[in-house]
Amino acid sequence: MTTPPPCSPSSLAPLSRVACIGGGVIGGGWIARFVLAGIDVKVFDPHPEAERIVAEVLANAERAYGLLTGAPLPPRGRLSFCATVAEAVAQAQWVQESVPERLDLKRRVLAQIDAAAPPEALIGSSTSGLKPSDLQEGLAHPERLFVAHPYNPVYLLPLVEIVGGTETAPGTIAQAKAVLEAIGMKGVVIAREIEAFVGDRLLEALWREALWLIKDDICDVETLDDVIRYSFGLRWAQMGLFQTYRIAGGEAGMRHFLAQFGPCLAWPWSKLTDVVDLDDALVEKIGAQSDAQADGLSIRELERIRDENLVGIVQALKASREGEGWGAGKLLADFERRLWSAAGDRRAPDAPDASAPLALVETRVSPAWIDYNGHMTEHRYLQVFGDTTDALLRRIGVDLAYVEAGHSYYTVETHLRHLDEAKLGETLRATCQILASDDKRLHLFHRLFAGPEGREIATAEHMLLHVDTQAGRATPAPAEVLARLAPLAEAHARLPAPPAAGRAVGQKRASLAATA
Ligand SMILES: NC(=O)C1=CN([C@@H]2O[C@H](COP(=O)(O)OP(=O)(O)OC[C@H]3O[C@@H](n4cnc5c(N)ncnc54)[C@H](O)[C@@H]3O)[C@@H](O)[C@H]2O)C=CC1
Ligand SMILES: C[N+](C)(C)CC(=O)CC(=O)[O-]
């Protein structure tokens, strides 16, 4: 994944300062979502270990993003912890409340937020089921409060139910939707407020029925979960209930489906109206079965397994319809296009520093990049070097719009040298020197440095050709691209040639010294 040049503007969204009040399961997920979108986040959570918990969620989120996307994310936003709600929200443009699900507590915390946040700041509540009108009571600025109900893990699942209360301004809802879209999420506006909105209405129905099935010894928790994950759970990631049932109606579609299965609704297929008594015995029964099912895996390990699975599912959906994408995969594809465009906009000044190769990429070794040897795995070196090439191309005007218009540079040859290891979390910095260029060819030499001491850990030499992507053949680059390239190439021609340039695989250092 490319980290953009250091001088880039930070955030993707039309905002750059967020406050998160509550940093537990959901608050932590929101924090990761915002920070990884380049937004500065201030947190208030009285939990003595809040910083550790948030750091662990953020590490898992970074790992997941490392697997999810190769698109250039903006530089991480700054994360800081505050001693009071007032301090956290004082400068915020969006405040996300994620405290425990109790009306009295939420009202108290929302009143504190409302009193200290700038009047124009948006306030979203993560509540799973409280009505926004009930949360608005007593606020001085209820018009900017709405429910923003996410799904766990917030940093991977894109949906947010946006629900307005009686006093929420329509502009608030529109603004919230736009912000969420800018950070890669899908805000759906729920037309009328109702307890538990839409998603949790459905989940509660399933959950209630599931609890009955366990209580009545129809199956254990593992069997129940297997029934979901080997059958309709697989279907639901790509089509919802109605589209799935439309297909299940055969060629006659939904009407036939309703005719066939409608009568079952009146049969004893559900006990939904009865609420199971979650007494100690049932809690212990479920707890014990759930412990056995986890088979010793910790919550963080389970989260990582879940995240890898979700990433795979979203990527499969991104590849659907011959790469156009479908559902959550299309949302990711669209978001990545915006990331590429935003990276193009972060193009650096035209006057290059002629005294050194260009410093184009700064990133960190993500957990997803570590292999069984405990260091950065080999293909990630190529990823960082590829990102460095992309950063150079954007500088000379070869950005997403340019590629979409039918031309690009393709890499036709690469020689990569691994000189040292890179460890988890180390900072990486990549530079680029243009060795030679003409109207079709671009000959580049990249160097990768790690850690604060700037150890050189790899070099890469690449030859690229300018191509007409429709015709699939090399073609001269247009004058405007060559004009941007020329001053860089001329400056770099005056730099000493890197000793390793032009090396062959297996060439000894001694012979290199002789030729240098
Ligand atoms: N866990 C889930 O699957 C989902 C939860 N939600 C909603 O998100 C909200 C938070 O739930 P979770 O994160 O699951 O709970 P949690 O228990 O994991 O986290 C709540 C956090 O709030 C903190 N907190 C308590 N009092 C506070 C105060 N006065 N000010 C600031 N922070 C305070 C706690 O220290 C804790 O870290 C709830 O409204 C819940 O319904 C929404 C979607 C899914
Ligand atoms: C159990 N829950 C009501 C907190 C679930 C949610 O609100 C959404 C989710 O992530 O399943």
Parallel, antiparallel or unpaired: strands 17-21 and 94-97: parallel
CA distances to 8, 9, 352, 398, 469 from 484, rounded to whole Å, are 19, 22, 10, 10, 21
Cβ(127)–Cβ(148) under 8 Å?
no
pLDDT category at 264 given cuts 50, 70, 90 is: confident
ipTM: 0.98
Q: Cα angle at 493 between 489 and 499, to 5 degrees?
A: 125
- pLDDT (0 to 100) of residue 346: 59
31 pocket-lining for ligand 1 (C-beta < 6 Å): no
What domains appear along the chain, each with residue ranges and CATH number?
17-197 (3.40.50.720), 200-296 (1.10.1040.10), 351-515 (3.10.129.10)
- pLDDT (0 to 100) of residue 381: 97
Atom of ligand 2 nearest to the CA of 199: 8
Q: Would you say 23 is a known binding-site residue?
A: yes
For 84, half-sphere exposure in the C-beta direction (CA atoms, 13 angstrom radius) is: 8
User: How big is the chain, counted in residues?
Assistant: 516
154 pocket-lining for ligand 1 (C-beta < 6 Å): no
Cβ(8)–Cβ(346) under 8 Å?
yes
In the chain, the amino acid numbered 191 is A
DSSP conformation class of 468: E
In this structure, what are the phi and psi dihedrals at residue 473, rounded to the nearest 5 degrees? -145, 160
Atom of ligand 2 nearest to the CA of 207: 1
Enter the pTM of the model: 0.84
30, 99, 102, 152: residue to mutate for ligand 2 pocket, most atoms within 8 A of CB: 152
152 pocket-lining for ligand 1 (C-beta < 6 Å): yes
Q: Would you say 184 is a known binding-site residue?
A: no
128 pocket-lining for ligand 1 (C-beta < 6 Å): yes
Distance 321 CA to ligand 2 centre (A): 30
Average model confidence (pLDDT) for the chain?
Answer: 91
Average pLDDT over residues 440-463: 97
Distance 98 CA to ligand 1 centre (A): 5
**Run of H or E residues at 314:** helix 299-319
- pLDDT (0 to 100) of residue 423: 93
pLDDT category at 82 given cuts 50, 70, 90 is: very high
pLDDT tens column, 176-186 = 999 999 999 99
